Structure 1
Amino acid sequence: MANNKVAVGIDLGTTYSCVGVWQHDRVEIITNDQGNRTTPSCVAFAATERFIGDAARNQAALNPVNTIFDAKRLIGRRFSDSTVKSDVKLWPFKVVGDSDDRPKIVVNYRGVEKRFSPEELSSMVLIKMREIAEKYLGKEIQNAVVTVSARFSNSQRQATKDAARIAGLNVLRILVEPTAAAVAYGLDQKLTSSSVGQRTVLIFDLGGGSFDVSLLQIKKGNFKVLATAGDTHLGGEDFDNRLLNHFVEEFKSKHRKDISRNAKSLRRLKNACEKAKRILSHNAMTTIDIDSLYEGIDYHAKVTRAKFENLNLDLFRSCVDTVKKCLQDVEMDKNNVDDVVLVGGSTRIPKVQQLLQQFFNGKELCKNINPEEAVAYGAAVQAAVLSGEANHNIKNLMLLDVTPLSLGTEVSGNLMDVIIPRNTTVPVSMQNFFSTVRDDQKVVGVGVYEGERTRVEDNNLLGEFELRDLPPAPRGKVKICITFTIDGDGVLNVSAEHESSGLKKSIKIIRGGTLTEEEIENIVKNAEQFKTEDEEFKRKVNAMVAFEDYVYNRREETETSCMLEASVKKMLSYSFKEAIEWINSNRNAEICEYEYKKQQLEAICNRHIPGIEGIKIE
């Protein structure tokens, strides 16, 4: 069944995800079962089933505490992170920390409390995207290019790879979102041709949950990232929350009631705020109308574009400040940028466009590519290149990324010794030599950090290990070579080696993610269990629908028949009514129960409706 050569590109977004594939010499963005080209990154757990995507989002207001979104804002982070603490206050679902300070999302599923890691929930979204692609292509998909925010740390990138692995995907490459978008832009502008000169492009990617700025040079199909900047915790969700807090306070002032602790009311209001934000991108004013929002109170409010802009102006301005920082990192004048490309749904906000255009002295912004689909488009192109499916236009495409944060180790005095500076082109390998600090020192500890602060404790600890059994020698005589290597996915490997004749020892930090191998294996098993449960539920629904269809079709056939006696019609009518009442009262019955009840009714119908035996009901 499987053609393992086929690979897809998946944009795993904070709020929406998208999947594309290269075929017929072009990228196809694949629609889901609802006919939508993007799918909500949302998972919900109900009393008897699990929903993913549109189905999960559609029932969110009725089941807020068990409907999970924004898992990308948790992936690869610690529970004690300040960003996690601030998010937890806004989410209707419960997040707790485990013994290793990892966030776990708590839900009630089938009457049992379950705890999921962000990787596990992200894998569910990836499974959905994989299924969407498989249904469209008619074949099994194993290989994929998955995108992440350019500012994702090593832990976040590795955690994303773990999520893909749980979803049964072989990740050909982790690709950063603005670079993927640059590929979409490059193909749109036909910049892969050898006859086109070099262009300097700034990708302004403002999505639902993260913000990235990347400066690239594009020449003859080579996409070289010069610098990145951004915020993994800024996007449309934050703009919605500013509007939400405004209306919560307004409701409190007007009705003297606090709805912030009512999850259902808050979710309904949040949905209305998101809708209002979208409308305000086109209109100067809109209204919020929610029936019985809280304790039977109908809520009606007006909001203008000016008010929305004022509530978020500091966030919008911080986006422009980030652009400045990106240009400053490579000492580039803004007048040397050929194109400013808008990516991400939040770039549709007029004030964001206005501030950005003002910064670039009135320069026309590039809006040619679809902001919601550009990242998946570029990922699909890269997937085709890596899987050998590419045509002559893209087969020589080369993407050179940079590391978003400086990487180094601790030296005497708790100082950070940077081995790979930020904005270094990857893949890359760099090393530094260190000496023992005591006589006869047998053990050297190596702590691996990422960040820009001088003191190591102010940076992010990625991992640590010890190099043991060093030969006795005076201090400073034993030399240790520490090598940092970043692969094409931006994932870090670190090794330490004792350099002396005939004796070499080395050790590597292979993983920077939050899950162990054993945990991944257990989650994969759980995913199989979920798949089995989901398939069982579908079979159950199909059995119920088959019985229900049979009842209604037979009833209609009986009511319109001229061949049946009145007494037979009456008897059958009672049987149909009884069957419908049973179905309505037993929506969660087992498959065998539906089949048995259907067989009973079939036997009655076969005895009393002439010529019915052998008739197939479609």
Structure 2
Amino acid sequence: MSVIGFDIGNENCVIAVVKQRGIDVLLNDESNRETPSVVCFGEKQRFLGSAGASSAMMNPRSTVTQVKRLIGRRFKDPEVQTDLKIFPFDTSEAKDGGILINLKYLGETHSFAPVQILAMLFSHMKDVAEKNLEMPVVDCVIGIPSYFTDLQRRAYLDAAKIAGLKPLRLMHDCAATALSYGIYKTDFSSTGPTYVAFIDIGHCDTQVSIVSFEVGHMRIVSHAFESNLGGRDFDEVLFGYFVAQFKEQYKIDVNSNIRACIRLRAACEKLKKVLSANSEAPLNIECLMDEKDVKGFIKREEFERLSSALLDRVCIPCRKALADATITVGKIHSVELVGSGSRIPAIAKLITSLFGREPSRTLNASECVARGCALQCAMLSPVFRVREYDVSTKYFSY
């Protein structure tokens, strides 16, 4: 019997499994530890994960990404409408007010609910796990954002059940991160609780939790979030900058071409990563549109200036979590920074100035949620014996 933790992210998925000697992150068919959260519908078959990401340029209007942003949401929700402007696929309103994704598949137009697309992703990740472990996978714990509504949580459970999984629990991302951090620590003070701030800046959201640790015990003291602030928002800043630049320099409107938008957004994401390690970075794309090669250039200072409004918003959930925990900054023993969007140097500087200490990166930024979920699954499973560790939190779900 397997003990699995799933982190179905907005951009990538990670699977962790508990074994007798610890926790392993499973590799997909391409030997990667992360699998793209992509479902692509070709003319005759579906492509999921890495294959879907590879086929996205051939079928941009039939490729579904970031389905996590749509699960359990209303079509007329202003935040949903903002997201839909970015996505290349066509959507419409369902009879119950939900969202329908309209795609061409097998020569016909099909309409899928987000829960069905998510179930396809779960099914793919289940197949990856079963190939690795060579045994059936059923019991699991799944990581979810702390801001999910009851409807979104139930949609996650429905999608998992459609895929043949049995979720023992849905676990908030920061709670899973805290568990994967605290269960192995043996140097906590015996005279009182040790407070740690966990800041998870993902692809599309920011979550913050203040957690108190004692030997054999952890408690979530407070949590806060910004559901519309993540790495992709910084990508959009670069995207908008280069769209305007190319319009003036090359007389092309990137927004009028879906493939050009996808390619430029992908290039901007890579450029953001380059700027995290360098003070300046070039951008070169061959034949972006209208058979024109484009070149661009930006300095990190300029990028930070353009992103100043986003950077200011990073501190808001941090301050709220501190206020709700009713403790002073001086009582925070350490700050753990995780998530795919956390690598921007300006964010680390802001957090350093707010908490008075540099953030640590003890945990793997992309794998900690899946590892924590796998640990929780082991604690709930009768198969594994996990050393006594009390998790006290109201931020679990189901």
**TM-score bin (small chain):** over 0.9
Question: What residue is the counterpart of 1:110 in the other structure?
Answer: 106
Structure 1 segment 369-384 matched on structure 2, within 5 A: 369-384=363-378
Q: 1:171 to 1:139 in 2, by over 3 A?
A: same
1:324 is matched with which residue: 308, 313, 319? 319
Verify the 8 A CA contact 1:344 1:371 in the aligned structure 2. Answer: yes
Give the greater-gyration-radius structure (CA).
1
- In the TM superposition, residue 188 of structure 1 has moved relative to its aligned partner by 4.4
Question: What residue is the counterpart of 1:385 in the other structure?
Answer: 379
Question: What residue is the counterpart of 1:310 in the other structure?
Answer: 305
Give the whole-Å Cα distance in 1 for the aligned partners of 2:79 and 2:9.
Answer: 18
1:396 is matched with which residue: 388, 391, 398? 388
Question: What percentage of aligned pairs have identical amino acids?
Answer: 32
- In the TM superposition, residue 215 of structure 1 has moved relative to its aligned partner by 1.1
Question: What residue is the counterpart of 1:338 in the other structure?
Answer: 333
Question: What residue is the counterpart of 2:20 in the other structure?
Answer: 24
- In the TM superposition, residue 25 of structure 1 has moved relative to its aligned partner by 2.5
Alignment TM-score, normalising by the size of structure 2: 0.96
Question: What residue is the counterpart of 2:47 in the other structure?
Answer: 51
1:38 is matched with which residue: 7, 21, 34? 34
Question: What residue is the counterpart of 1:81 in the other structure?
Answer: 77
- In the TM superposition, residue 221 of structure 1 has moved relative to its aligned partner by 2.8
Question: What residue is the counterpart of 1:267 in the other structure?
Answer: 262
Question: What residue is the counterpart of 1:292 in the other structure?
Answer: 287
| Paired residue secondary structure (1:260) | helix
Verify the 8 A CA contact 2:183 2:389 in the aligned structure 1. Answer: no
Verify the 8 A CA contact 2:10 2:37 in the aligned structure 1. Answer: yes
Verify the 8 A CA contact 1:14 1:72 in the aligned structure 2. Answer: yes
Give the whole-Å Cα distance in 1 for the aligned partners of 2:382 and 2:272.
Answer: 42
Question: What residue is the counterpart of 1:238 in the other structure?
Answer: 233
Structure 1 segment 363-442 matched on structure 2, within 5 A: 363-391=357-385, 394-402=386-394
Does structure 1 residue 184 correspond to structure 2 residue 180?
A: yes
Verify the 8 A CA contact 2:35 2:49 in the aligned structure 1. Answer: yes
Amino acid at match of 1:253: E
Amino acid at match of 1:16: N
Q: 1:22 to 1:233 in 2, by over 3 A?
A: same
- In the TM superposition, residue 62 of structure 1 has moved relative to its aligned partner by 2.7
Give the whole-Å Cα distance in 1 for the aligned partners of 2:186 and 2:294.
Answer: 51
Verify the 8 A CA contact 1:188 1:369 in the aligned structure 2. Answer: no
- In the TM superposition, residue 307 of structure 1 has moved relative to its aligned partner by 2.2
Question: What residue is the counterpart of 2:127 in the other structure?
Answer: 131
Structure 1 segment 196-207 matched on structure 2, within 5 A: 198-207=193-202
Which has the higher relative contact order, 1 or 2, with Cα contacts under 8 A spaced 6 or more apart?
2
Give the whole-Å Cα distance in 2 for the aligned partners of 1:389 and 1:398.
Answer: 18
Partner deviation per Cα, 1:31-74 (whole Å, 9 max, x = no partner): 11111111111111111111111111122223211111110011
1:94 is matched with which residue: 72, 83, 90? 90
Verify the 8 A CA contact 1:70 1:209 in the aligned structure 2. Answer: no
Give the whole-Å Cα distance in 1 for the aligned partners of 2:193 and 2:382.
Answer: 26
Partner deviation per Cα, 1:255-279 (whole Å, 9 max, x = no partner): 2321202111111111111111111
Question: What residue is the counterpart of 1:150 in the other structure?
Answer: 146
Verify the 8 A CA contact 1:210 1:234 in the aligned structure 2. Answer: yes
Moved over 4 A (4+): 193-197
- In the TM superposition, residue 119 of structure 1 has moved relative to its aligned partner by 1.2
Does structure 1 residue 71 correspond to structure 2 residue 101?
A: no
| Paired residue secondary structure (1:348) | coil
Partner deviation per Cα, 1:103-160 (whole Å, 9 max, x = no partner): 1111111111111111111111111221111111110001110010011121111111
- In the TM superposition, residue 335 of structure 1 has moved relative to its aligned partner by 1.1
| Paired residue secondary structure (2:52) | helix
1:251 is matched with which residue: 230, 242, 246? 246
- In the TM superposition, residue 331 of structure 1 has moved relative to its aligned partner by 2.0
Give the whole-Å Cα distance in 1 for the aligned partners of 2:82 and 2:241.
Answer: 17
Partner deviation per Cα, 1:499-552 (whole Å, 9 max, x = no partner): xxxxxxxxxxxxxxxxxxxxxxxxxxxxxxxxxxxxxxxxxxxxxxxxxxxxxx
Unaligned runs of at least 5 residues, structure 1:
404-487, 492-618
Partner deviation per Cα, 1:175-223 (whole Å, 9 max, x = no partner): 00011011121134336x8969521111100111221101111223322
Give the whole-Å Cα distance in 2 for the aligned partners of 1:88 and 1:197.
Answer: 48
| Paired residue secondary structure (1:131) | helix
Amino acid at match of 1:280: L
| Paired residue secondary structure (1:338) | strand
Partner deviation per Cα, 1:574-594 (whole Å, 9 max, x = no partner): xxxxxxxxxxxxxxxxxxxxx
Give the whole-Å Cα distance in 2 for the aligned partners of 1:216 and 1:357.
Answer: 18
- In the TM superposition, residue 317 of structure 1 has moved relative to its aligned partner by 1.7
Give the whole-Å Cα distance in 2 for the aligned partners of 1:234 and 1:131.
Answer: 32
Give the RMSD, CA atoms, in angstroms.
1.7
Amino acid at match of 1:264: R
Alignment TM-score, normalising by the size of structure 1: 0.62
Question: What residue is the counterpart of 1:213 in the other structure?
Answer: 208
Verify the 8 A CA contact 1:228 1:402 in the aligned structure 2. Answer: no
Give the whole-Å Cα distance in 2 for the aligned partners of 1:196 and 1:190.
Answer: 14
Verify the 8 A CA contact 1:227 1:402 in the aligned structure 2. Answer: no
Alignment: residue pair count? 398
Amino acid at match of 1:50: R
Amino acid at match of 1:202: A
